[in-house]
Chain A
Amino acid sequence: MTLIRRALFALLAMALSAPLWAQTAQPKAAVTGARAAAPGTLAPLAAKPAPVSSHAPYEAGDCKICHQSSDPKQPGPVAKKGPALCLECHEEFAGVMKREHTHAPTRADCTNCHNPHNAQYRKLLLKETRVLCTTCHDSIKKTMDKATVPHKALTTGAQCTNCHNPHASSVAKLLVQLPFDLCVNCHNRDDAVDANGKKLQNMKGWLDNNKQWHGPVAAKDCSACHEPHGGDHFRLLKADYPQEFYAKYDPRTYELCFSCHQEAAFSTAQTTTLTSFRNGATNLHFLHLQQSGRGRTCRACHEVHASKQENHIREGVPYGSGGWMLKLNYKKTANGGSCEKTCHQEKTYSNRPAR
């Protein structure tokens, strides 16, 4: 019995000591096996496969720069806790972290995202950028994964860090710049295509040539209308917006516009207050949108991003398949405006008494 008891006691002692051993012993992976260390480990990776990035102090081979001892086998704990140790060399981060918006994991500890020795990913990251970010930001992962209209910016280049600064920023949501400034970094080419291969407008070129900008564009807030992480609406729009030139009026299909504009301005036949596009009290928005069967959508008359004319009125609309543009010939007058010889014969409207 005594022997059995001793054996059981020894087994129990081994079982209890195993976690402690695992924490204190030098990780084997660092010395022998490539990537044998658990994903996200802070221990040095093995030499093969060659790490993609390596920290200069680790490369220098002097553990004492960061640890209490210079013995690679027993370096002991680090000299300082949290970001303080990193800031001794990465001194610019003292200023970076004074920006208005800071990332909680950065405030807590640099090693939340970085391996201080070496890594299989750029910038000593513990995982691939997108995987690392979505470890916490799981709702973004869900949005990205189920998006039928994806955004290439999330999967190319620096991925999440194409647009976000993972440390700190003066812009909310840790954006590197205001949305507009970020978007036109890519949407500035004539040959750009979306994730499905469809040609995209050179937005910067268009905006440079059309100075009457829609409010959200002027506010540099592309994300007012677009969902940068992907979604189910064409052109990454946040909500429904009619794709067609003609459509039966249904307020649900204008959800995007009505998230700011008042629906009543388009569904009230007679008004003297809801819109200036009226002839007396006859609401011409209502008239154009609510025609049975051939209701015009916003795009029939308006450029949503920018135009040369006021009220975002477009110069022309595409007609037929030959790329012909049908001029709208809109003219603003002192008390209203007119359109001529386009969709209809010249029609003039007046929304206030002539002075």
Chain B
Amino acid sequence: MRRIADFAARDARAPGAGASRLTVMIALLACQCCFHPASAAHAAIGTPVPNAEMPSAAGGKAQALQAVEANVLVFFRPNQERSLGALKELAQCQKAFADKSVRWAAVVSASVVAETAATMVRDSGFAAPVLIDTGDALYGSLGLALHPVVVIVDKENKLAAFEPFRAVNYCSVISAHLRYVLREISAEEMRKALDPPKAVEGGNGQVAKRYRALAEALFKSGNLEKALESARKSVERDPALAAGHALIGEILRAQGHCADALQAYAQALALDAANASAGEGRERCKPTR
């Protein structure tokens, strides 16, 4: 039956598609027999999405899908808190795609009052036509069982992403899928966006850098002992911090301990041969002949 839908959808996009509309409607009805709104899973990613002509809440009719890189269909229902939340969030989300080949559409069941649905979309700030899904044909053909759901369809009219509402990061998730469909990010970048890294800071490496920075400030203000103390704390935290060893060298040299400074410079250069401060300091500490 998916094949029938595929062919029917292809027919509908072909020139002179008007004659095939009846075929499309029959195919959609046939689809509905195979995919059920409450089935366990939505239609698989890659499934062809039928491009039916649907009534618009504003009057007239419109195609479910347009010839763009990505169609975003937002299935929602009126008087539902989560649908309103999703529409509001998507209203913010869609601004970033204003100049992209993306078509947004809100889709609502024919069983609800179209005027109410249109008002809800307008009030949410989500800029999109409201399409009426007669008999929940499109919703059913995609195996959907929830509201709200965002469905992203690629330029070949295949299902590219399916995202029910999330209380957290909804816009980020939709944007990541959309940018992937638009080929703006790689699959790996999308994966990272969908599962962002842990937001932490600190750790020995960072604390070491803080001590080094403090040591430098103390060094500049002439407080050599405290500066040395802080610089040593820095390399205790991160022995691989070349800049920390170099600064120890600088402070020791300023204290007149060139022999010790040379050891610190050597450590810095062993870690980072290009460390300019250590290189210059070593030259200055070399005994004059």
Contact = CB atoms under 8 A, between A and B. Distances in A.
A220 to B, nearest CB: 7
A215 B164 contact: yes
A177 B34 CA distance: 39
Given A170-B196, A261-B145, A178 B168 contact: yes
B214 A100 contact: no
Given A178-B195, A259-B80, A100 B172 contact: yes
Contact of B223 (A56, A62, A90, A311): A62
A273 B136 contact: yes
Given A99-B199, A224-B166, A91 B213 contact: yes
A231 to B, nearest CB: 14
A83 interface: no
B22 interface: no
Contacts of A220: 195
Contacts of A174: 199
A169 B201 CA distance: 10
A168 B199 contact: yes
A295 interface: no
A117 interface: no
A65 B217 CA distance: 6
Most buried by B among A260, A351, A353: A260
A151 B65 CA distance: 45
A92 B200 CA distance: 11
A24 to B, nearest CB: 24
A134 interface: no
Given A89-B210, A171-B196, A260 B38 contact: no
Interface in B43-82: 77, 80-82
A179 interface: yes
B233 to A, nearest CB: 8
Contacts of B136: 273
A175 B172 CA distance: 14
A167 interface: yes
Contact of B218 (A65, A165, A168, A181): A65
Interface string B199-241: 1111000100111011001100101001000100000000000
A273 B140 contact: yes
Contacts of A276: 36, 38-40
Main SS at interface, chain A? loop
Nearest to A70: B221
B82 A260 contact: yes
Given A65-B217, A261-B145, A273 B196 contact: no
Contact of B199 (A169, A224, A261): A169
Contacts of A277: 38
Contact of A64 (B163, B213, B221): B221
Interface residues of B, number: 49
A172 B201 CA distance: 17
Contacts of B230: 56, 60
Contacts of A310: 40-41
A172 B199 contact: no
Interface string B177-211: 00000000000000000011111111000100111
Contacts of A170: 196-197, 199
A109 interface: no
B146 interface: yes
Contacts of A176: 198-200
B33 interface: yes
Contacts of A223: 167-168
A351 B40 CA distance: 13
Interface centre among B36, B77, B171, B217 (most CB of A within 10 A): B36
A224 B165 contact: yes
Nearest to B212: A89
B21 interface: no
A315 interface: no
B36 A171 contact: no
Contacts of A65: 214, 217-218, 221
Contacts of B32: 272-273
A57 B202 CA distance: 17
A-B pairs, top 3 by smallest CB distance, nearest first, are A170-B196, A169-B199, A275-B38
6 contacts: A171-B196, A181-B198, A215-B146, A260-B146, A260-B147, A262-B37
Given A178-B169, A219-B164, A276-B39, 15 more contacts: A60-B218, A62-B226, A64-B221, A89-B213, A169-B196, A172-B171, A178-B195, A179-B167, A215-B164, A223-B167, A261-B145, A262-B37, A262-B145, A273-B36, A352-B33
